[in-house]
Each structure stands twice: as structure tokens, then as C-alpha cells.
Amino acid sequence: MSDQSKTPIIQMKNIEKHFGAVIALAGVSLDVFPGECHCLLGDNGAGKSTFIKTMSGVHKPTKGEIIFDGKPLDFETPRDAMDAGIATVHQHLAMIPLMSVARNFFMGNEPVKKVMGINFLDQALADKVTMDEMRKMGINLRGPDQAVGTLSGGERQTVAISRAVHFGAKVLILDEPTSALGVRQTSNVLATVDKVRKQGVAVVFITHNVRHAMAVGDRFTVLNRGQTLGTAVRGEISPDELQDMMAGGQEMATLEGSLGGTV
Amino acid sequence: MTDASKTEAPDTDERVKEMSSFRRSLIRPELGGMVGTVAVFVFFLLFAFDSGMFNSQGVMNWTIVSAQFMIIAVGACLLMIAGEFDLSVGSMIGFAGMMIAVFGVVLGWPMWLTIIITFAICLAIGAVNGYIVVKTGLPSFIVTLAFLFILRGFTIYIPQTLENKTIIGGIRDAAEGDWLGSIFGGKIFGGFFNILGDAGIIATFERGSRMGEPVVDGIPMMIIWAIILIVFGHVLLTKTRFGNWIFAAGGDAEAARNSGVPVDRVKILMFMFTALCATIFATCQVMEFGSAGADRGLLKEFEAIIAVVIGGALLTGGYGSVLGAALGALIFGVVQQGLFFAGVESSLFRVFLGLILLGAVILNTYIRRMITGER
């Protein structure tokens, strides 16, 4: 935990979300500091997705408060959240494989320059920025015109993350970025998360893989059945304990005996 | 973003193969179209060189036919890259021509007003096409197929009801001296061709009232429009922000929306642009023929799509090139007219076309996979 003295960039206070008769979130609190990687763990159906969708403006909380940068926030649309600096990188990325890395990187935010009063795409700037950003993240492109389809899954995640950061994300929500990746690619993505965090971006890392969380997380919050089971600071909790909390303790403990600690 | 956090990465990756600059410059979406163009020209230079295909008249002949294909191919190309089809292009051509005849000849309106109103109506129909596709989420294939029938129906019904015939003539007289009409109908650079004729570089009439005048006496506006549209389409697609949105809208509409691209607006505008191209085609055609017929533009939608696909565009959107589409249209025009010059039985045109289409698409698919890493 690097900056305990600072104020959190985003605070979620007692968030409740009901869908009709279903209580998806029953009072979840979480805060994230700039430059921190806060891991949100939970098994399927724990409410992770609902929670991050509330954070990114897709859902409005039924009860509770969101404080962003010291001010209470009331997002109407995901666009509001994006404009405020909350970016989400989904499992299924907003990347178009047929298009070049540079064109993807600037999609929706294309730089323009005026030539004879007409706005043209500033391809040279787009190419340069893309190459610089990719080099910082450790991806060697053949050229900025290389298609995203030629990149590996991990590299695509990295492009998506560095794009979000380049366009001013203060809070970066990563929705299971490593769930579909191989070992090597996962470590690349985790390294990217580490770089982004060091730039002062607050990262919310959603996963159900305890080992990936332990690799980069500063703090860990476990969700179970729509409730927080508590937030732990790095070094104060063991992977086994996290695993137990995620699975709801009891059943896992009995199961673990029979599986010999393989889960 | 601070530079302090910059970590040095190795400058090369042993897994990225070096590509020679020659190979890289070749691997582009237009390659299929370029290879095809060279192939058909070599073929006709060998088999039809003495037939008059390559004298001034012959060149003008296949250039005009190619220019016709190019005009509608540019619209179809941008729309296809944006992820949609327009099957109503052919009917739109017939409809637009008929509107000009009805307003300008039957109702006797001034030609400039006729042309402006026809463009307004056709662009509005294009917008309706796009709006229905975007709002209902139906495949554009079905929506524009409906308009293929609706517009063709009106194109036959309106002249029959008004004039009891399906061909309305007299457009050239109605357009005589009209400033807007001449932008679509006339020829330019006549003086240049006179000089060429006098110098003996191109053929001149040897007898009759036009003796001494060059056989080809100017560049028809159809060709000028084709060039304007190709340049406009190419610059729009590759050099502007909107062009990036066209690629994005066709590549993955959902991902584009998530990144803030106004996908619906892009698609509707591309439907309107396709309608614009069809109307330009129709206006040039009726000015040239002097009449509008209810069967004009039949099957043009498929010819446009074939030219675009030969030119390297992906049928499902997100990938393609206006220059490629223009080459596809050139191949189409040269083959269609060239077989006539070469004295080949005209029904074999379809066989040639099918073979070229197949060959170009196979080559294009291979190139595209190399570029985009598709599997």
C-alpha cells in the first residue's frame, strides 16, 4: 500500500442493487487510491459484474453513494463515467481485429489536423503515439499499421489498457483480463497492470484467480453472494485464506481435503 | 503519462519476421485488383490489339463503361466497408432517371430544379433505407431488397400512369443550355482532342459533315464524375476521422459504439452516399441517352458489389479499399467491352466474369489473412 495518506479517487459506500426481487448487491463498500491495484475477487454469481457495472455507470445503485474525486457522483450513462475518467476494459475487448493498431488505438478519439480548412486524420501523430505507447508496454510492433488481429490475446489486452490510460483514465476497471489467457500472456498483462499502477492510475482488477490477484494486488476485497467479506491488505492474508473467503469457507474446506489442495 | 515509468523494451522481437519493403508494399488490399487489371490488359493486348480496342475510340468505349461501374462501385464500397449492403442501387438508378424525365419533361420544370429535387428525393430514400436498417437491426440485405422492388415498381407505374409508356424521351432538349444539366451531360477538354486530332495522334472523321474533327471529341462528364468520386471516397476513407469510423462501424459495431463512434450516423450517411452515387449515375445516363427508361439500372447493384469484391473488400464489412473497387470496376468494364472487340461470343462474358470473380476473391482472401492475421 503506497499512498495511505492520500484520499481515495473513488469510494463506493454501501452500494445496494436490486433487480426486481433479486438482491444482487446487499451493501458493498470499496475504495480505491490512486496508484493502487485493488483486486475484487469473487466466484461466479458473487455480484462482481453488477458491482463494476454500477461503478462504470451502466447500472444505477438502488441505495448507497459513489464518491469520485471527493464529490458525490450520479452517472446517467456509461459515457458520463468515461468522461469523468472511469474506463472499463472488458473481457471481450473493444478492439477490431481487421483494423490496424493505430486505428484501433485512436478509434473514437482520432487526432485531426487542418489542411486548407478541412479536417484530416493526423496519421503521423497517431502512428507515433501508438508506437511510443506500445514500446512503453513492451510490445514490439512491426509497424503502427499492423492489424490487431495479428496480436495475441494478451497483447490485445495490453493495447486496450494502454489506450484507456492514454485517454485519461483515472480509474481503470479490468474485467477478468486474464481469464482467457495462457501463462506467458497472463504474465504480460499483469506486468502491464503493474506499469499502469506506477503511473498513478487506480486499478480495479476483477478476477476469480487468487494467484493472479496475489501477483499484482495491493488490497483484496472479496465478494460473496452480494456482500463484502472484508478488505485485506497485501501481506496480511494468504492465498489460501482468500480462496476460502471466495468459496464461502466451509464447503471448500471439506472439499479441499478430498482434492488434496489442488484447487 | 509520465516518462519516469518508461521501461525499456528490447527493440526487436525474434518472433516478428522481417518483411522486405517490396513485399510489404505489395501486401495491400488492392493487390488482387492490381493483379487482375494487369492480367486483363495483357490478355486483351495479346488477343484484341488489332481490333481497334486500343485506338482513341476503343479506349473511350471501355473507359466510359468502366466509369459507369466505378461511380456505383465507390458508393457500394464505402457502404460495404461500413458493414452494409444496398441492393436497391439498380432500382434507384431507374427511379432517379425517371424522376428527372417526369419533372423535367412531363411537368416541364427547369432542368436545374429537376436535378436538385431528384437528388433530394433519392438521398431521402437512401436515408430511409439506412434508418430502417439501423433502427430495426434487420439485415440490410432484406431491407434494401424490399426497396429494390418498391422503387422499380414506382419507376414502371409512374410513367405508365402519366404518359402511357415506359420510356420518356426529350430530356436532352429539356436540358439544353441548362447549367446544372451540362455538369452531368456535357463533355470537356474538347480543344485538347482537336489538337490531338490535328496533330494526327488520334483518328479524325474522314468524310461527312464533321470531316476533320476528331472521332473522340472530349471527355464525357461520366468519366469526370467517376474520378471525382474515387478521389473523394479514397481520401474520406483513408485520410479522415470519418473514414476510421466507417472501418470501425463495419469491423465491429458494438466495439465501435463502446469507443464512442456514432455508428448509426455513419451507416445512415453511407446509405445516403450510395444513393448519391446511383443518382449521379442516373443523371449522367439520362443526359447522355436523352431518355429515361423503366428498365434502366437492372442488375447494377450486383455489378457494383462484384466490382467491390474483386477490389478486395470483405463482404461482411470492416475491410476494403476504394482504389481496389475502382480497379474492380475497370476490370469489369474492360472485360465486358474487350470480349466484344476480340470477337468472342458475348454470352461467354459471364463465364469470364465468374472466373475473374472467383480468382480475385481467392487471392484477396489470402492477402487479407496475411494482413489481418485472420484464421
SS (H, E, C) B309-369: HHCCCCCCCCCCCHHHHHHHHHHHHHHHHHHHHCCCCCCHHHHHHHHHHHHHHHHHHHHHH
User: Is A168 within 8 Å of chain B by CB?
Assistant: no
Q: How far is CA A86 from CA A52, B156, B254, in A?
A: 11, 57, 19
Whether residues A120 and B240 touch (CB distance < 8 A) is answered with yes
Q: How many domains does chain A have?
A: 1
Quick one: pLDDT at residue B6? 39
Domain containing residue A195? 33-57+75-98+147-259
State the amino acid at position B247 in one-letter form: F
Mutation target for A interface from B1, B261, B365: give the one with most A CBs within 10 A.
B1
Considering only CB atoms, A95 lies closest to which of B12, B19, B255, namely B255
A179: CATH: 3.40.50.300
Residues of B in contact with A140 (CB under 8 A): 9-13, 16
- Give the residue on A whose Cα is nearest the Cα of B9: A138
Whether residues B255 and A166 touch (CB distance < 8 A) is answered with no
**A133 lies in some domain:** no
**A124 lies in some domain:** no
Quick one: pLDDT at residue B133? 96
User: What residues 269-328 of chain B have any CB closer than 8 A to a CB of chain A?
Assistant: 314, 318-319
Whether residues B9 and A123 touch (CB distance < 8 A) is answered with no
Quick one: pLDDT at residue A1? 44
- ipTM > 0.85 (yes/no): no
Quick one: pLDDT at residue B344? 84
Whether residues B256 and A99 touch (CB distance < 8 A) is answered with no
Name the helix (H) or strand (E) containing A214: helix A210-216
pLDDT tens column, B123-159:
999 999 999 999 999 999 999 999 999 999 999 999 9
- pLDDT exceeds 60 at position A262: no
What distance in Å separates residue A257's CA from the closest CA in chain B? Answer: 44
- Give the residue on A whose Cα is nearest the Cα of B13: A140
Residues of B in contact with A79 (CB under 8 A): 260
State the amino acid at position A102 in one-letter form: A
Residues of A in contact with B19 (CB under 8 A): 142
What distance in Å separates residue B320's CA from the closest CA in chain A? Answer: 10
User: Is A93 within 8 Å of chain B by CB?
Assistant: yes
- pLDDT exceeds 70 at position A33: yes
Quick one: pLDDT at residue A259? 59
What distance in Å separates residue B201's CA from the closest CA in chain A? Answer: 39
Residues of B in contact with A97 (CB under 8 A): 251, 372-374
What distance in Å separates residue B315's CA from the closest CA in chain A? Answer: 13
Whether residues B247 and A98 touch (CB distance < 8 A) is answered with yes
How confident is the model over A23-47, as a mean pLDDT? Answer: 87
- Give the number of other CB atoms < 10 A from CB of residue A60: 12
Considering only CB atoms, B318 lies closest to which of A96, A110, A142, namely A96
**A5 lies in some domain:** no
Whether residues A108 and B256 touch (CB distance < 8 A) is answered with yes
**A213 lies in some domain:** yes
Residues of A in contact with B372 (CB under 8 A): 97-98, 147, 149-150
- pLDDT exceeds 70 at position A141: yes
What distance in Å separates residue B28's CA from the closest CA in chain A? Answer: 11
Confidence label for A249 from pLDDT (cuts 50, 70 and 90) = low
Mutation target for B interface from A79, A96, A158, A194: give the one with most B CBs within 10 A.
A96
- Give the residue on B whose Cα is nearest the Cα of A197: B5
Q: C-alpha grid cell for residue A220? A: 483484496
Task: Parse chain B into domains and list their residue ranges.
Answer: 61-187+194-367
Whether residues A138 and B9 touch (CB distance < 8 A) is answered with yes
Name the helix (H) or strand (E) containing B123: helix B111-136
- pLDDT exceeds 80 at position A157: yes
Residues of B in contact with A168 (CB under 8 A): none
Which segments in chain B show pLDDT lower than 50? 1-15
What distance in Å separates residue A93's CA from the closest CA in chain B? Answer: 7
Whether residues B247 and A110 touch (CB distance < 8 A) is answered with no
Q: What is the dihedral of CA B204, B205, B207, B212, to 10 degrees?
A: -50
Across the strands, what pairs with A172? A87, A203
Residues of B in contact with A151 (CB under 8 A): 373
Q: Which DSSP string corresponds to A42-105?
A: E-TTSSHHHHHHHHTTSS--SEEEEEETTEEE--SSHHHHHHHTEEEE-SS-S--TTSBHHHHH
User: Is B198 within 8 Å of chain A by CB?
Assistant: no
Considering only CB atoms, B248 lies closest to which of A96, A120, A150, namely A96
Whether residues B248 and A151 touch (CB distance < 8 A) is answered with no
HSE-CB at A29 with a 13 A cutoff on CA atoms is 6
What distance in Å separates residue A244's CA from the closest CA in chain B? Answer: 36
Q: C-alpha grid cell for residue A57? A: 455507470
**A81 lies in some domain:** yes
Whether residues B258 and A94 touch (CB distance < 8 A) is answered with yes
- CA-closest candidate to residue A94, choices A109, A84, A83, A76: A109
Confidence label for A210 from pLDDT (cuts 50, 70 and 90) = confident
Whether residues B255 and A195 touch (CB distance < 8 A) is answered with no
Strand ranges of the sheet holding A171-175, from the earlier edge strand across to the other edge: A86-89, A171-175, A202-207, A37-42, A219-224, A227-233
- Give the residue on A whose Cα is nearest the Cα of B252: A96
**A227 lies in some domain:** yes
